[in-house]
C-alpha cells in the first residue's frame, strides 16, 4: 500500500505536479489528471491506480503536444499521429490523444483538406490532380479526397488554367504557336489539370501571328537553325535540313521559304 505523502507544483511548469508516495518522489501529473483522480495528500493508491493515473497522464501530455503542434498551422490527422509517435508516445496513447483532439474540434481532416484545397488553388494555382497528390501525402483518406475535390468546379479550373496559359503565352511570345501550345500543355499538365481542361484552353486562347510577327520570330530561331546546319551541309541539302527543322517548330512553309531565300541572296 502506498500513500500520497506530498504534492508539489513544478517550478518550470505550473500546470504539472510532483507526486510523492511514502515520502519518495513517484511520478508527475498534469493538473487535469490531478483533479480527475482526486489526488490529495493522504490518499491511498494501489499499483493498478498508479498505472491508470500515469497512463491517463501520458494521454494528457500527448494531447498537449498535439495541440501545440496544431497551434502553428492546420495539420492532418496523419501528420499529428506521426509527430506524436516520433516524439515517443505509444500507439494507444497517440490514438487516445487524437480522438480527444478530434472530439474537441482541434483536428478535422475534412476541414483541413478544404483549407489545403483553397490554399493550393489561390497560391500555387494547382489543378485537381496535383492537389490530390498533396492530400495523399498528408494521409487524407480517399473518400474525403473525392468529397473535397468535387467542390473544385470545372468553371473554377478553367478560369485558373486560362490565366496560367495566358502568362505562359506572354512569356513565350518569341516562339511559334505550336511551340507555345506545347509549353502550355506541359505546364498545365504539371500543374495537375485534366486533358479536357487543357484542350479547351488551347481552343480558347488566341495564338495567331501577323506576317510581321512571323518575320521577327523566324529571324531569331531561323538564324540558329541556319548556323547549325550550314557548317555541315550546303546547297539543296542545307535548304531541306533547314526547312524540315523550321517546319517542325511550327513555321508556315511560305515564311520558311522567304527566310531561306533571304539567307541565300
Q: For residue 131, how far is the Cα from the chain centroid? A: 7
* Whether residues 97 and 12 fall in one domain: yes
Instruction: For 201-233, give one letter per residue: b (16+ CB within 10 A) or e.
Output: bbeebebebeeeebeebbeebbeebbeebeeee
* Whether residues 7 and 62 fall in one domain: yes
* Whether residues 258 and 186 fall in one domain: no
DSSP letter for 111, please.
H
* Whether residues 228 and 139 fall in one domain: no
Q: What per-residue confidence (pLDDT) applies to 188?
A: 97
Q: What per-residue confidence (pLDDT) applies to 186?
A: 96
* Residue of higher predicted confidence among 262 and 153: 153
Q: Work out how many domains the chain is built from and give that number.
A: 4
Question: Mean pLDDT over residues 95-121, rounded?
Answer: 96
Could you read off the pLDDT of 128-179 as tens digits, one per residue? 999 999 999 999 999 999 999 999 999 999 999 999 999 999 999 889 999 9
Which set of grid coordinates corresponds to residue 83?
509527430
pLDDT, mean over the chain: 93
Question: Mean pLDDT over residues 220-248, rounded?
Answer: 89
**Domain housing 174:** 154-204
Q: What per-residue confidence (pLDDT) applies to 206?
A: 85
Instruction: Decide which of 204, 223, 238 is a domain's last residue.
Output: 204
Q: What per-residue confidence (pLDDT) applies to 234?
A: 85
The yes-or-no verdict on residue 34 having pLDDT over 90 is: yes
- Of the pLDDT bands very low, low, confident and very high (cuts 50, 70, 90), residue 59 is very high
Q: With the C-alpha atoms ordered 55, 58, 60, 63, is the resulting torsion angle positive or negative? A: negative
The yes-or-no verdict on residue 68 having pLDDT over 90 is: yes
Percent of the chain beyond pLDDT 90? 78
- Of the pLDDT bands very low, low, confident and very high (cuts 50, 70, 90), residue 48 is very high
Give me the CATH number covering residue 253.
1.10.10
Q: What is the pTM of this model?
A: 0.82
* Whether residues 81 and 117 fall in one domain: no
User: SS3 of 2, please?
Assistant: strand
Question: Mean pLDDT over residues 220-232, rounded?
Answer: 88
Give me the CATH number covering residue 88.
1.10.10.10
- Of the pLDDT bands very low, low, confident and very high (cuts 50, 70, 90), residue 263 is confident
Inter-residue contact 132 to 150 (CB < 8 Å): no
The yes-or-no verdict on residue 110 having pLDDT over 80 is: yes
The yes-or-no verdict on residue 265 having pLDDT over 80 is: no
* Whether residues 8 and 89 fall in one domain: yes
Question: Mean pLDDT over residues 83-111, rounded?
Answer: 97
Q: What per-residue confidence (pLDDT) applies to 211?
A: 81
Could you read off the pLDDT of 165-211 as tens digits, one per residue? 999 999 998 899 999 999 999 999 999 999 999 999 999 888 888 88
* Whether residues 6 and 95 fall in one domain: yes
The yes-or-no verdict on residue 99 having pLDDT over 90 is: yes
Of 209, 119, 205, the closest CA to residue 163 belongs to: 205
* Whether residues 193 and 116 fall in one domain: no
Amino acid at each position: 500500500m502506498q500513500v500520497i505523502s506530498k504534492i508539489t507544483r513544478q517550478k518550470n511548469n505550473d500546470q504539472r505536479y510532483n507526486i510523492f508516495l511514502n515520502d519518495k518522489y513517484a511520478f508527475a501529473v498534469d493538473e487535469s489528471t490531478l483533479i480527475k483522480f482526486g489526488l490529495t495528500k493522504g490518499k491511498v493508491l494501489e499499483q493498478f491506480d498508479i498505472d491508470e493515473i500515469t497512463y491517463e497522464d501520458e494521454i494528457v501530455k500527448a494531447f498537449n503536444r498535439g495541440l501545440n503542434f496544431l497551434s502553428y498551422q492546420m495539420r492532418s490527422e496523419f501528420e499529428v499521429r506521426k509527430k506524436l509517435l516520433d516524439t515517443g508516445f505509444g500507439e494507444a496513447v497517440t490514438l487516445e490523444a487524437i480522438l480527444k483532439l478530434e472530439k474537441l474540434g482541434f483536428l478535422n481532416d475534412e476541414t483541413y483538406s478544404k483549407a489545403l484545397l483553397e490554399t493550393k488553388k489561390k497560391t500555387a494555382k494547382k489543378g485537381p490532380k496535383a492537389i490530390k497528390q498533396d492530400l495523399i501525402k498528408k494521409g487524407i483518406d480517399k473518400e474525403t479526397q473525392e468529397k473535397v475535390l468535387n467542390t473544385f468546379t470545372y468553371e473554377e479550373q478553367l478560369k485558373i488554367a486560362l490565366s496560367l496559359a495566358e502568362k505562359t503565352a506572354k512569356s513565350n511570345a518569341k516562339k511559334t504557336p505550336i511551340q507555345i501550345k506545347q509549353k502550355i500543355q506541359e505546364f498545365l499538365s504539371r500543374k495537375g489539370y485534366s486533358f479536357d481542361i487543357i484542350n479547351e484552353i488551347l481552343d480558347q486562347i488566341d495564338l495567331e501571328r501577323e506576317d510581321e510577327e512571323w518575320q521577327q520570330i523566324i529571324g531569331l530561331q531561323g538564324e540558329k537553325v541556319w548556323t547549325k546546319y550550314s557548317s555541315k551541309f550546303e546547297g539543296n541539302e542545307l535548304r531541306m535540313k533547314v526547312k524540315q527543322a523550321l517546319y517542325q517548330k511550327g513555321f508556315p512553309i511560305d515564311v520558311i521559304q522567304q527566310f531561306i531565300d533571304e539567307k541565300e541572296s
